Amino acid sequence: MRRAVLCLLMLGCVMPCGAMAETETLEQAWSEAYRINPSLQSERAKLRSTDEAVAQAQSHWRPSIDATANIGKTYQYLPAQKQVGLDPNFSDTSRSYGVQVSQPLFRGFRTDSETEAAENQVHSGRAKLDDAEQQLFVDTATAYLDLIRDQAVLESNRENEHVLEQKLKETGVRAHYGELTQTDVRQAESRLARAHVARYQAETSLTADQASYARLVGHMPEQLASVDLHLAESKELDDLLHLAETRNPKVIAARYDIDEAKAEVDLNKGSLLPEINLVGSRTQNWGQSITVPGHQDSSQILVQATMPLYRAGTDYSKTRQAEQTVTARRMDLEEARHKARETAHNAFQTFQSAESAVEADKDEVKAAAEALAGVREESKVGTRTTLDVLNAEQELLDAKIDLAKSLHDRNLAIVQIKAAIGILTVAALQLSVPAYDPEQHYHDVRNQWIGFSRDDDHYQVPPADEEASR
């Protein structure tokens, strides 16, 4: 009894419950995961952090203003003062206030290089965010399709369990009247016990699927709509591989990483060039010394040039290091292309295999159902044994489970293909949720001279109905 109640509670999250359950589509699951998934929100925050590198690079075009203030006691003894009849001892409260403005005029082209490097970091970060979004969509689709598959498996197992219970009763009655033997009864009992185990295993798998779905989407699944995805893109393998090598987010990010590394080389070379600053200062001093005991003001404006001659070889080492980083980034790009090609290739092969399996499994289910009906009729007239009926029922169950798995594999392969070629996006999927705009924060901070960040809620993706009301 306890097991039955537990099973009903577990299935209540997936199976229809009248007015209590609402049908949820894969698109809705994607939209909700895209909006609230904490892992994806973390990646967005990391990109906003990367945006600040551009603001920091841009700051080298602007002046720096520093204010200073000092106060303390000054004690001084000057014997020469005594020789001319003056007090050689001096004691006073010394004070000084000042302000200095420094405006960079030339930094060896480092500001340009640093800005270029930072902007390439941002572009790479956006591509990595696209990859994180696609991976979330793949994970969400996997959890969704796993639920549908395992629900179908559980329903088939429960149906088979019910059929075997009836078969056991029938076999017991016929054995009582001598039409069958106790061996037939034991065979029916064995198959029923096997069905119980299969149902327990299916329930466990379904529970794990629910936990994965809730982690990604943020709520337990209700009634899920069936999925029948199609590969609208070219079904030619060469075309898909070309798209994967050019449009995969990891490949795009790797290209920007190369450009960022090249800019770092120029940045380090710039440290070998002169630096010119325009410096202005003004100070006010009181009670500084025995010779200037009163108030003293000073102002200064000058062009300050610094030419590095030799700094222990550090600048050259950093440049060589950056050049090797460029080489490493080029190899990373090749590796990203190889992996994108491999992913697309494997997903396409799985798609083709699963698509063929779906048609074969449909034929198998139809044939197994017809065979079972025939064996049952033949069993009634004694030309088939109980074991023959049980085997036919098991073959039908296996065919149904195989069909559920093939449908799952085909749909998941289509999702993986879309991710590999970079089109598993909000826009391409035409989701109802508004797309996250990475440029909004970038433009907010790029030329910001002063101030802190806006509240993070300003950059969150709103629900679809809230966006529509704006």
Instruction: Show me where the domains of the chain are located.
Output: 2-36+120-273+313-433
3-class SS of residue 465: helix
Handedness of CA 149, 152, 156, 161 (dihedral sign): positive
Task: Considering only residues 36 and 470, tell me which one the structure prediction assigns the higher pLDDT.
Answer: 36
Q: What is the pLDDT of residues 345-400, one digit of tens each?
A: 999 999 999 999 999 999 999 999 999 999 988 888 888 888 888 889 899 999 99
Using the predicted structure, report yes or no on whether residue 9 has a pLDDT greater than 90: no
- Whether the CA torsion 324, 330, 335, 339 is positive or negative: it is positive
Name beta bridge partners: 91.
75
Query: DSSP letter at 179?
Result: S
Q: How confident is the model at residue 249 (pLDDT cuts 50, 70, 90)?
A: very high
Predicted confidence (pLDDT) at residue 40 exceeds the cutoff of 80: yes
Per-residue pLDDT at 11: 40
Banded model confidence at residue 199, pLDDT cuts 50, 70, 90: very high
Question: What is the distance between the alpha carbons of residues 203 and 322, in angstroms, rounded to a whole number?
Answer: 55
**Calpha distance 189→427 (Å, rounded):** 55
The whole-number pLDDT of residue 465 equals 59
Rounded to whole angstroms, how far apart are CA atoms 423 and 228? 18
Run of H or E including 299: strand 295-306
Of 225-229, 361-365, 465-469, minimum mean pLDDT range: 465-469
Q: Return the closest-CA partner of residue 122 out of 189, 69, 51.
A: 51
> pLDDT digits over 105-151, tens only?
998 888 899 999 999 999 999 999 999 999 999 999 999 999 999 99
Element (H, E) at 152: helix 110-176
Q: Kindly calculate the radius of gyration of the chain based on its CA atoms and give it in whole angstroms.
A: 37
| Three-state secondary structure call for residue 275 | strand
- Spelled out in words, what is the top-level CATH class assigned to the domain 2-36+120-273+313-433? mainly alpha
C-alpha distances out from residue 72 to 92, 147, 176, 288, 297, Å: 9, 75, 113, 10, 18
List, for residues 421-435, the tens digit of each pLDDT value.
999 999 999 998 999
- Helix 237-247 and helix 386-420, axial crossing angle in degrees, nearest 10: 50
DSSP track, 55-78: HHHHGGGS-EEEEEEEEEEEEEE-
DSSP state, residue 313? T
Q: What is the pLDDT of residue 14?
A: 42
For the chain, what is the mean pLDDT? 87
Contact 301, 251 (CB under 8 A): no
pLDDT at 358: 93
Provide the pLDDT for residue 234.
65
Is the pLDDT reported for residue 64 higher than 50?
yes
